[in-house]
Every structure is written in structure tokens, then in C-alpha cells.
Amino acid sequence: MDNRKQIQNSLILSLLMMLLFISACKQSQNVTNRELRNHIKYLSSDNLKGRLTGSEGDSLAAEYIRNELISYGLVPLSGDGFQRFSVTGRLIPGKDNSLIINSRQYIFEKDFMPFAFSSGSAEESEIVFAGYGFAINEDSLKWDDYQDIDVNHKWVLILRADPEADKSISPFIPYSSDRGKALLAKDLGAAGVLLVSGASFDPLDTFESLNPSDFPVGMPALRIKREVADLILSARNTTVTELEKRLGESGKPYSFRTGIKVSATTEIIREMSATRNVVMMLPGEDEVLKNEYVILGAHYDHLGMGGKGSSSMFGDTLAVHPGADDNASGVGLMLELAEKFASTKGSHKRSMIFIAFSGEELGLLGSKYFAENPGIDLSKVNAMINLDMVGRLSESKVLQISGVGTAEGLKELVTAVNDTSLLSLAFSDEGSGRSDHTSFYGKNIPVLFYFTGAHSDYHKPGDTWDLINYTGMVSVSNLIYQVTSELARKPERLQFMESGPKPETIRSIRKKSVTLGIMPDFAGIVKEGMRADEVYPGRPGALGGMKKGDIIIAINGKSVNNIQDYMIRMGQVKYGQQITVEVLRDNKKISLLIQL
């Protein structure tokens, strides 16, 4: 009898353990508040110091993400699961920076600073004052500071900004950038440029930090203090303040020779930082469909400590920018979905690739790099799902979903599986935007971008883990899981549809430029010229004979060395104009005539 009871008790204990195991398995299939909180709390912790691309915090985040995915049973797409690439970390002035005016040596960082786009040196030559450095010939605006002066082989002294610097809307804005002015002076043969701030534009006359996203313009360009400029202008019995006032009141150019001579040398050191995407795969469950893919991605980088030169909304504040919503929330949700797919049999006949992108905040660099170096056939990708800022579902329960127009039936699929008592959906057809799905849309891949909306803590130190709506994230996760599972299970492939403009240019709130209809090399992989990574059918570039991979080196005879030069050159042309575009194709120069 005792033996029988012993056996009974043993069977009961075994049954209880089995039930607990099954319960635990079921629990692991569910996205939970607790697990989401753990992921987001770690990724947005002070220990990671804002996850700046290429920083130690960036590296710690990448290790954490990969280790979590491995623990769910995912395998590296290749190698160790890291896709390594480099970005410009920061710019540092070198030792060889000098400014000599009429044989007087000026002090670096006190009297002058090179711009980030400055390069090289120029021998002693006369300084010519060229107002605001404009050469504008529009129907509604004409202003040419160079019409009465010769700046060939001379230094040009230019006022920064424009005569309407106090206005948020002004026709001068597209022509007022420091870089654009320097490039124009270079086109006119100048040896170098000296730019100075007027008192109404910058009363404190401060030097800005060097912007790592700036590429060299091909000549020395220095920012000088007003008192230095006033010494130059004293030969003509005037000052920066007087000239700024005169140009503002008259609304007319005013340029002259100064008789003062200058020579200068500039040196900018570019520190490259190593970073990496995390790329892991969950093999498909079907012998045939496992050779096709669904990609689910989220960027894990953020702004680090913020400060000048970052995109922090508090540009003068050095503090940890935790980035809990942007985008620890997207990464946390991606991890939970990876675990759910890995533990749910029958959820994915296609292989699933989970990617944590770095470099998004610097211009979609990580997703761009993967799209150029995927390690798989991108034509086999059924869809790309992007999660960016999915942690602040509001009381209205509105979830924004972009890209539903990039394939037939996408909107209907999302609508059909949504629980309207939990989420109210707001749709956008367009496949491009300011997040990583854009890199895949540019490769003709259907995309869906999930976003719970902007908030007042965006790009600020206040974007912390305790403000995340974890219950709302669970609701969002349920919808994304159902939609993604449908895309991963159903044998029918989505058919890509173009919906909205392709990612042709870096957007500017100041000016919408004429475009060639191409996707530029955002990452600056080509060092001399600007490569066309995509040329879209029916657009001006394609109609004019441009091909994918062409490297643009000049527009209307003016040099193009990088994407910033390209943007400025395109900003100088008009709709309906016929332009010449010189490209390198297979190391041969070809001149194209393109109608805009």
C-alpha cells in the first residue's frame, strides 16, 4: 500500500511539474509588461549613456540584443550575428590650424575656427568683402554680391545668415547656409572664405561645434570673430555691424576690396567609430518557403549625451538622453516578438530576420548598410516591418501605420486582424519616411512602419523608461504579431507597389528642391562624387539616361563631391530647366542632358 501511495504521489508530482512546464511555455509565448519593462529599463539606463552610435553604450546594447535573441533559439544570419561598419564619430581640429592677416598671427579657437567642411590651406592673398555671399537670380529675388568684384585666387569675407535672419520664413533661407556660400565662392575661383556673424544674427559671437555630418568642400573655410573682421574692415573705415545694418536697410548688395592680405591653413581630423547591426535569423518551418524572408527591425542607437552638434532638443545641455521610447521601445518589442515567434509552432513558414540597426539617428546608416550588404537575396523578402517609437500609446489608443500602400491588400490585412476596442488605426500609404523602413522601400520591398506618435520628450533627457505605456505596448504587439505571422505563413507573396516618393534626398524644412528621381548614397561610401544607388523609372534622371551606380561628379559644370554638394547644386536649378549632369560610369566620364 505504501508503495502504491508513493507511486501515486510521484505521478501527481510529475503531472504538476508537466503542467507548470506547459504553463511556463505558454507564458513565454506571450509579450508581457514585465519583460518589456526589463528590456527598456536596461537599454535606456544611465549605464549605456544614451547609446550613441560607436560608443561603449552602443556596444553594450548590441551585445545585450544579440544574447537575448540567441537565448530564444535564433541563429546568426552570418558570422557571429554582428554586421560591422564604420561611421564618422567626431571631428577634431588638428594642430595645423593658422590664420595670418597682414603678417599678424591670430589665435586658434579664440580668434578663429575652421568649419567642419574646411580643408587644406591657401597662400597669402587679398581679402575681398562680398556681403552675404549671394548670387541669386530668381524671378522674385535678385541679389548678386559678386557682380562688381573679382574673387579669383582671393580670400572672400562673407557675412553669415541673410538680411532677414530674424524671420522664420524668408526667400533668402535656401541661400543662407555657410556651406552653400563657401561652395559658391569656390566655384568663382576663391582661394578661401572667412565667415563672420553679425550682431543681429549672433549677439554672443560664439563658435559652434564641428558637425561630423559635414563633408569637405575642397578649400579652407574659417569662422572668425567680429573683432577680427572689424580689424580687416577698418581699412575701409567700417565695421561688421555697420555693414549688416546697411545691407538690411538698403536691400542691395555692397562689395569691395579691402587691400588686406591673409593666409591660412586648416586641419580637421575625422575620427571613425566602429559600430554594428545585430542580424539574427529564425529559420522557416517550411522546406520551400524557408528560402523566403520577413524582416522585423528596430534601431537601437540614440543621442548619447546630447549637446551641440546632436539632434537633441536641448542642444546646449549635456545629459544622458535615455531614448526609452526612441527607440528602446521598438527594440524591446522586437525582442519579445522574436521570443514569441520562436516558441510558437506554425507561426512562420518563411524564415524571419530580426535586425537591430545602429546609426539611424545619423541618417539611417545601419539600415542603409544592410540594404547594400544584405547577405541574402532581397528579392526573396516578402516584407519589412519597422518598429520605431512604439512605447507611448496615448489615451486615444491611436497607432500610426505607414506603408500600407506598398503592396496590394496590406491595409485590408491589418484592418482585418485589429481589435478596435484596443487600438484605433491611422494609416498612411507612403513607404518612405524618417526611419529605417525607407532603406527597404528604396529596394522595392513592401514595408510597414509602426509608430505610437510624437511627444514632448522626443530627443530630450526626459524620454525615460517609467513614462512608457507597457500595457499599450502589449496591445500593439498583439496586432504586429498577427500581421507579421500572416506575412510569414501564407504562401502568397506580396506584390510591391510604389506608394509615395522614393527616398531621393535628405528632406529640408526650408526648401523642397527639384530632384533627379534617384536615391543618393546617404552614407557617403563613394569619396569623390555622389553615387546614385537607385534611379527610378519615369523620373528625370532615368529619362535622361542615368543608371543605377552612376557617380555624379558635376551638375551644370559645377563639381559634386558628396551628397551635400549635390543638394546645393540641385537647389540652384528649377523645374522645367535642362541641365547637364556629368557622371562616372565604369570609370568613364559621361555627360547627360536631363530635362527637369
> Can you give the pLDDT at residue 14?
54
CB-count burial class (<10 Å; 0-12, 13-18, 19+) for 541: buried
> Can you give the pLDDT at residue 2?
58
- The DSSP code for 235 is G
**Listed residue (302, 300, 303, 299) closest to 317, CA to CA:** 303
Residue 374 CB partners (closer than 8 Å, separation 6+)? none
Task: Give the helix/strand (H/E) hosting 63.
Answer: helix 56-71
| pLDDT for 33 beyond 50 | yes
CA angle 564, 126, 217 (to 5 degrees): 10
C-alpha distances in Å from residue 253, one per residue of 114, 135, 137:
26, 10, 13
CA angle 514, 520, 525 (to 5 degrees): 150
Q: Span 342-353, mean pLDDT? A: 97
Least confident range of 6-15, 72-81, 335-344, 454-463: 6-15
> Can you give the pLDDT at residue 15?
54
| pLDDT for 474 beyond 60 | yes
> Can you give the pLDDT at residue 26?
42
**Strand duo 121-129 + 155-159: pairing:** parallel
Residues 217 and 559: their CA atoms lie apart, in Å, by 10
Residues 279 and 81: their CA atoms lie apart, in Å, by 5
Confirm if 73 and 342 have CB atoms less than 8 A apart: yes
Least confident range of 277-291, 489-503, 505-519: 505-519
pLDDT band at 219 (very low <50, low <70, confident <90, very high): very high
**Listed residue (40, 57, 59, 39) closest to 48, CA to CA:** 57
N-to-C CA span, the chain = 96
Residues 130 and 155: their CA atoms lie apart, in Å, by 10
Residue-wise burial string across 38-55, b where 16 or more C-beta atoms lie within 10 A, e elsewhere:
ebbbbbbbeebbbbbbbb
pLDDT band at 537 (very low <50, low <70, confident <90, very high): confident
In degrees to the nearest 10, what's the CA dihedral of 552, 584, 182, 136? -50
Q: Span 110-138, mean pLDDT? A: 96
> Can you give the pLDDT at residue 7?
56
pLDDT band at 343 (very low <50, low <70, confident <90, very high): very high
3-state secondary structure of 538: coil
Residues 426 and 309: their CA atoms lie apart, in Å, by 34
- The DSSP code for 496 is B
Confirm if 193 and 130 have CB atoms less than 8 A apart: no
Retrieve residue 307's grid coordinates: 549637446
> Can you give the pLDDT at residue 504?
40
Q: Span 464-479, mean pLDDT? A: 98
Question: How is 277-345 classified by DSSP, letter by letter?
Answer: EEEEEE--SSTTGGGSEEEEEEE--B-TTB-TTS--SSTT-B-----IIIIIIHHHHHHHHHHHHHTST
Question: What percent of the chain lies above the pLDDT cut of 90?
Answer: 75
Residues 419 and 117: their CA atoms lie apart, in Å, by 52
Retrieve residue 118's grid coordinates: 574646411
Residues 334 and 142: their CA atoms lie apart, in Å, by 53
pLDDT band at 501 (very low <50, low <70, confident <90, very high): low
Q: Span 342-365, mean pLDDT? A: 95
> Can you give the pLDDT at residue 20?
43
Provide φ and ψ at 75, rounded to 5°: -125, 155
Q: Span 4-21, mean pLDDT? A: 54
Average pLDDT, the chain: 90
Q: Span 311-334, mean pLDDT? A: 92
Residue 417 CB partners (closer than 8 Å, separation 6+)? 479, 482, 483, 486
Least confident range of 176-190, 301-315, 352-366, 504-518: 504-518
| pLDDT for 498 beyond 70 | yes
**Listed residue (52, 79, 436) closest to 273, CA to CA:** 52
Least confident range of 97-106, 280-289, 569-578: 569-578
Retrieve residue 140's grid coordinates: 522674385
Least confident range of 17-26, 176-185, 360-369: 17-26
In degrees to the nearest 10, what's the CA dihedral of 244, 114, 528, 512? -30
**Listed residue (117, 112, 72, 144) closest to 337, CA to CA:** 72
3-state secondary structure of 596: coil
CB-count burial class (<10 Å; 0-12, 13-18, 19+) for 6: exposed
Which residue would you say has higher pLDDT here, 489 or 363? 489
Q: Span 237-256, mean pLDDT? A: 97
Cis peptide, bond prior to residue 327, ω within 30 of zero: yes
pLDDT tens per residue, range 519-532: 777 556 677 899 99
Least confident range of 160-174, 180-194, 471-485: 160-174
Question: What percent of the chain lies above the pLDDT cut of 70?
Answer: 92
Which residue would you say has higher pLDDT here, 334 or 307? 334
**Listed residue (354, 478, 477, 486) closest to 409, CA to CA:** 486
Provide φ and ψ at 398, rounded to 5°: -85, 125
Retrieve residue 226's grid coordinates: 567680429
| pLDDT for 511 beyond 60 | no
Least confident range of 19-23, 295-299, 396-400: 19-23
pLDDT tens per residue, range 411-436: 999 999 999 999 999 998 989 888 99
